[in-house]
């Protein structure tokens, strides 16, 4: 056979072939080392703000090539984002640690979030916890994971809350239907029952430009709804560029987000009544994207208790806000936070709250049973309400909430609304919410997932959902 000249390429080929032949036995007996990917799982306790921050921290892990798995699966690293609003959240954390150690006794367990800032040493002492990070350090979590061996006792990295002044942007995109967009953090209010300023520091805001950029990133993922979240979002603009001066207002934020292309809905998670201005209400009433749904904390219908709580309003201002919303948007949904059993809440003061809420044109309640928190002024107050009385009052207000929600749903029957359908098959049904937060369901249809549809609200079923007809 004639030899074919291949020049330099021929010599390179022969060289590689010779190397392969000489090393074949070695490759067979000593195969290349396969690097195992580190698996990480996350669990979030508490509020929408925590969910947005968990999502951003999880993206850092993806960039470091960790493999994210479900929290119910065996993982090498478990991250628990904690809450300390209630005593039950503290207990829930310990139960979660025990759960993950059953799944993988050698797993590295990291605790972050509000409880981790407030009680780092207590968390570090929980059996199985390896790392506890405070309010600033949590956003650098991957930098603390060079050694994933189990520790005899948890290691704490947490600065004093007075030194937490930086703002870190966060948003979630794991849910195809809606995203939580953080716009503000911390709080300058001094409510006597609240540990949030101790856990998150001073009020500070994201730069308006950053918020808009994040909203655009969310809309690019075909997510239909954005929920604005923060500790005190009505205070938006304070600390935007590292100063206490307001560079922008909450209304500036609302107006800027309203014109971002690709966003179908924007929902405000919660806003203090004294910071919800009439100008904002009027703008939302004619907005293309902001929905007629407001969640406005009240905490008590008794002016005496509001003063003891050091809230920045009295009951009449709250009434005025509700009337302003309903005048501009009669179909608006209004949710209310309320605390029962606060020190000094006698039967008479509680009944003031009950009657105040019963007479008010609101849609539902989030009822919180007061629990004493360390380092708060309320924990030292006289007039402690017995636990059994707190439980009884909580039950009464939860019952009132069911009546309020049912009445609101009834008022919407026969109207046409737009529903955003979610992505889970729940007992043969697909659920969704109207723009004004009426929860609906129809028989499961996968083609409806993450879509918006005009519907006619027909009737309330036995489980409290509204049945609808697609239009």
Which H helix or E strand runs over 42? strand 39-44
pLDDT of amino acid 239: 85
- The pLDDT confidence band at residue 176, using thresholds 50, 70 and 90, is confident
Structure tokens at 303: 């002016």
pLDDT of amino acid 87: 64
pLDDT of amino acid 14: 41
Instruction: State mean pLDDT over 372-388.
Output: 95
pLDDT of amino acid 42: 96
How many Cα atoms are found within 13 Å in the side-chain-facing hemisphere of 153?
Answer: 6
With pLDDT > 70 as the criterion, what percentage of the chain qualifies? 91
Short-list 267, 251, 220, CA closest to 420: 267
For 131-285, list the strands marked E by DSSP: 131-133, 155-157, 178-182, 184-185, 204-205, 225-229, 265-268
Structure tokens at 386: 């017995």
pLDDT of amino acid 195: 92
Q: What is the pLDDT of residues 193-219, one digit of tens each?
A: 999 999 999 999 999 999 999 999 999
- The answer to whether residue 406 scores a pLDDT higher than 90 is yes
Q: What is the pLDDT of residues 35-86, one digit of tens each?
A: 458 999 999 998 889 999 999 999 999 999 999 999 999 999 999 999 877 6
Greater confidence, 90 or 315?
315
Report the 3 state secondary structure along 284-321. Answer: HHCCCCECCEEECCCECCCHHHHHHHCCCCCHHHHHHH
Residue at token pair 């309010």: 135
- The pLDDT confidence band at residue 2, using thresholds 50, 70 and 90, is very low
pLDDT of amino acid 378: 97
Instruction: State mean pLDDT over 431-457.
Output: 97
Q: What is the pLDDT of residues 237-276, one digit of tens each?
A: 998 876 667 789 999 999 999 999 999 999 999 999 999 9
pLDDT of amino acid 102: 95
Short-list 344, 247, 328, 232, CA closest to 280: 328
Of 35-39, 109-113, 269-273, 362-366, the one with minimum mean pLDDT is 35-39
Residue at token pair 């520790």: 151
pLDDT of amino acid 13: 41
Burial of 234 (0-12, 13-18, 19+ CB in 10 A): buried
pLDDT of amino acid 173: 83
Domains of the chain plus CATH, in order, are: 39-162 (3.40.50.12160), 167-291 (3.30.750.210), 296-412 (3.30.750.200), 416-470 (2.40.50)
Q: What is the pTM of this model?
A: 0.88
- The pLDDT confidence band at residue 139, using thresholds 50, 70 and 90, is very high
267 beta partners: 227
- The answer to whether residue 12 scores a pLDDT higher than 70 is no
How many Cα atoms are found within 13 Å in the side-chain-facing hemisphere of 33?
Answer: 3
Short-list 206, 204, 226, CA closest to 215: 226
Looking at 120-178, list the stretches that DSSP marks H as alpha helix, in order from N- to C-terminal side: 120-124
Q: How many whole angstroms separate alpha carbon 233 and alpha carbon 386?
A: 34
Q: Percentages helix, strand, coil for the chain, rounded to the nearest 5?
A: 40, 20, 40
């Amino acid at each position: 056979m004639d030899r074919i000249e291949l020049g330099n390429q021929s010599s390179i080929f022969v060289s590689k072939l010779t190397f392969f032949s000489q090393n074949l036995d070695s490759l067979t007996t000593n195969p290349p080392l396969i690097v195992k990917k580190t698996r990480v799982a996350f669990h979030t306790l508490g509020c929408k703000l925590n969910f947005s921050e968990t999502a951003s921290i999880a993206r850092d892990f993806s960039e470091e090539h960790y493999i994210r798995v479900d929290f119910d699966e065996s993982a090498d690293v478990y991250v628990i984002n904690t809450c300390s609003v209630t005593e039950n959240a503290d207990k829930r954390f310990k139960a979660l640690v025990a759960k993950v150690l059953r799944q993988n006794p050698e797993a590295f367990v990291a605790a972050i979030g509000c409880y981790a800032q407030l009680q780092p040493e207590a968390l570090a002492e929980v059996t199985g916890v390896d790392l506890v990070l405070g309010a600033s350090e949590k956003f650098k979590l991957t930098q603390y994971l060079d050694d994933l061996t189990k520790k005899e006792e948890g290691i704490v990295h947490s600065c004093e809350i007075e030194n937490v002044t930086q703002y870190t942007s966060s948003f979630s995109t794991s849910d195809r239907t809606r995203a939580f967009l953080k716009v503000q953090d911390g709080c300058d209010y001094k409510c006597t029952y609240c540990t949030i300023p101790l856990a998150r520091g001073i009020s500070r805001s994201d730069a308006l430009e950053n918020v808009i950029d994040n909203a655009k990133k969310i809309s690019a993922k075909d997510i239909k709804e954005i929920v604005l979240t923060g500790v005190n979002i009505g205070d938006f603009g304070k600390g935007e560029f590292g100063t206490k001066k307001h560079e922008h207002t909450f209304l500036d934020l609302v107006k800027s987000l309203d014109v971002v292309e690709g966003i179908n809905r924007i929902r405000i998670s919660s806003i203090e009544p004294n910071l919800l201005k009439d100008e904002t209400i009027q703008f939302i009433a004619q907005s293309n994207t902001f929905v007629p749904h407001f969640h406005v904390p009240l905490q008590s219908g008794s002016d005496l208790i509001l003063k003891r709580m050091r809230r920045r309003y009295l009951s009449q201002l709250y009434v005025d806000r509700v009337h302003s919303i309903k005048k501009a948007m009669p179909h608006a949904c209004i949710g209310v936070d309320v605390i029962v059993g606060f020190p000094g809440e006698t039967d008479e003061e509680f009944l003031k709250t009950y009657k105040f809420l019963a007479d008010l044109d609101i849609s539902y309640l989030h009822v919180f049973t007061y629990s004493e928190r360390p380092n708060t002024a309320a924990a030292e107050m006289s007039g402690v309400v017995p636990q059994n009385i707190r439980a009884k009052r909580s039950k009464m207000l939860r019952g009132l909430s069911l009546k309020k929600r049912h009445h609101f749903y009834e008022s919407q029957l026969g109207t046409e609304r737009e529903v955003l359908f979610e992505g889970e098959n729940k007992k043969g049904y697909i659920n969704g919410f109207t723009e004004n937060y009426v929860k609906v369901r129809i028989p499961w249809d996968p083609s409806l997932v993450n879509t918006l549809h005009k519907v006619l609200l027909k009737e309330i079923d036995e489980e409290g959902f509204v049945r609808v007809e697609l239009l």
